[in-house]
Amino acid sequence: MIKRILIFSTAYLPLIGGAEIAVKEITDRLGGDFVFDLICARIKRNLPKQEKVGKINVYRAGWGWGKLDKFLLPWRGAALAEKLHRQEPYDIAWAIMASFGGLAALFFKNKLKSVPYVLTLQEGDTPEHIASRALWLGPYYKKMFVSADLITAISRYLKEFALAHGAKSQIAIVPNGVDINKFQTPGGNKQELRSRLGITIQEKVIVTVSRLVEKNGIADLIKAMSHLPAEVKLLILGSGSLERELKARVKNSGLNDRVLFLGDVPHDKVPQFLAIADVFVRPSLAEGLGNVFLEAMAAGVPIIGTKVGGIPDFLRDPSVNSGQAPTGLFCEVSDSQSIAEKINLLLADHALHSKLIINGRVLVQEQYSWNKIAAQMKETFTQLTL
């Protein structure tokens, strides 16, 4: 029997983040067994109030007024959910993150207690940023955890986070995944792309795919370029509030010809840029899991990250995780010299470089394919509707 699931999310595609990609990948694979509706904030006026995206019927609440739509989502979203539920009842309410969408799900659950409420934690912000959100949401923030009938977390770090906020239900670790075929067989001509970017055959390429915000540590990565040989170039894919500041930093450091800001690249084009990279780096200050690390591993690019949040779930540094197959290198947090040292090590040690590529691909194939993740979520949903 087909089950109806109502998803609550603060935002949804085409606004892209790890959570949005995860929802689409999972629902695309479960569409035959479930019907999915999704309520989110409209945020931008050019986004339709209702449309179908993949296997999901998307309903956007608000006027396209950015943050105001987010702030009002708990009340407007819950009201819309009750209306849709009266038309055709839902079997599960599924909240994506303990944020404005999660609060809408909580309000819906408070009115319809018989509908199981699942909370999925995808949070990747710094503890300070999360604390500021929790302060705004007041006592309701903790209630999102306490009231859940089941919680899924994308990392061990977020499971502990849920327990620290009073979670009483079962907590299952269900990570995000990777479309392995897309990242292992990217389209496009590698040399043509390198030439278009002004990169010679002799030059080495460091790539990061990141929102340009403080928590992703891009300023530290740029500073590290001053400690690296002149034939090393850095590609930065992404945009954000720090973009102007970071570009000024590059100019003032005399790195204009070595650091390329490529802006927001469509997700389906990212594999092409990973395919020309020698090393992937994101020196995060905080990370729920880090989908893009997994994508880089699937693409055969050795990774460097910090030992924060959910990154240690998949990054096994040979100097830290002795006895386990190494999948990447840890650099220190907020330490440009450490970042440069690890990049230099990978560029110089070809055996280690190759070993990380092989082990990274094996790990992603065995543990992080979207088919495996979707099967885990199907089991979760089925458990709640027996």
- Give the model confidence (pLDDT) of 23-62 as tens digits: 999 999 997 889 999 999 999 999 999 999 999 999 999 9
- Tokens for 210, please give them: 């990141």
Q: Per-residue confidence at 161, pLDDT binned at 50, 70, 90?
A: very high
Q: Beta partners for 3?
A: 34
Q: Please indicate, yes or no, whether residues 270 and 124 belong to a single structural domain of this protein.
A: no
Amino acid in position 292: V
Radius of gyration of the chain (CA): 21
Q: Are residues 45 and 167 in the same domain?
A: yes
The pLDDT, as a whole number, for residue 59 is 98
User: Per-residue pLDDT tens for 91-125?
Assistant: 999 999 999 999 999 999 999 999 999 999 999 88
* pLDDT tens string 168-206: 999 999 999 999 999 987 777 888 999 999 999 999 999
Total domains, the chain? 2
Determine which helix (DSSP H) or strand (DSSP E) holds 335, and give its type and residue range: none
Q: Which domain CATH number covers 339? A: 3.40.50.2000
Residue 139 CB partners (closer than 8 Å, separation 6+): none
| pLDDT of the residue at 386 | 72
Look up residue 269 and give its DSSP letter.
G
| Unique residue bearing structure tokens 């999704």 | 38
Q: Which of 140, 109, 106, 141 is nearest to 123 (CA)?
A: 141
Of the candidates 378, 358, 275, 301, which has an alpha carbon nearest to the alpha carbon of residue 27? 378
CA distance 47 to 59: 10
Q: What is the pLDDT of residue 252?
A: 96
Q: CA-CA distance, 128 to 11, in Å (whole number)?
A: 21
* Distance, CA of 209 to CA of 189 (rounded, Å): 20
Mean pLDDT confidence for 212-234: 97
Q: Are residues 201 and 312 in the same domain?
A: yes
Report pLDDT for 239: 94
Task: Convert the pLDDT of each residue in 41-50 to its tens digit.
Answer: 999 999 999 9
232 and 361 inside one domain: yes
Helix (H, G, I), strand (E, B) or coil at 16: coil
Contact 353, 305 (CB under 8 A): no
Same-domain status, 198 and 334: yes
Is residue 13 domain-shared with residue 48, that is, in the same domain? yes
Q: Would the pLDDT of 16 be above 90?
A: no
Query: pLDDT tens for residues 75-94?
Result: 999 999 999 999 999 999 99
Q: Within this chain, do residues 184 and 172 fall inside the same structural domain, yes or no?
A: no
- Say yes or no: 145 and 49 in one domain: yes
pLDDT at position 31 is 75
Residues 303 and 313 both lie in one domain: yes
- DSSP conformation letters of 275-329: HT-SEEEE--S--SS-HHHHHHHHTT--EEEES-TTGGGT---TTTSTTS---EE
Report the distance separating Cα 41 and Cα 44, nearest Å: 9
**Which pLDDT tens digit goes with each residue over 305-325?**
999 999 999 999 999 877 889
Per-chain mean pLDDT for the chain: 95
What's the pLDDT at 134?
80
78 and 98 housed in the same domain: yes
78, 61 Cβ separation under 8 angstroms: no
Q: Structure tokens of 225? A: 């370029």
Q: Please say if the pLDDT value at position 263 is more than 90.
A: yes
Q: Would you state the structure tokens that stand for residue 30, as one six-digit string?
A: 């479960």
Element (H, E) at 333: none
Whether residues 268 and 157 share a domain: the answer is no
Mean pLDDT confidence for 282-287? 96
The reply to whether the predicted model has a pTM over 0.75 is yes
Domain coverage including residue 51:
3-177+369-385
Give whole-number Cα distances, 75 to 17, 134, 138, in Å: 24, 17, 15
199 and 267 assigned to the same domain? yes
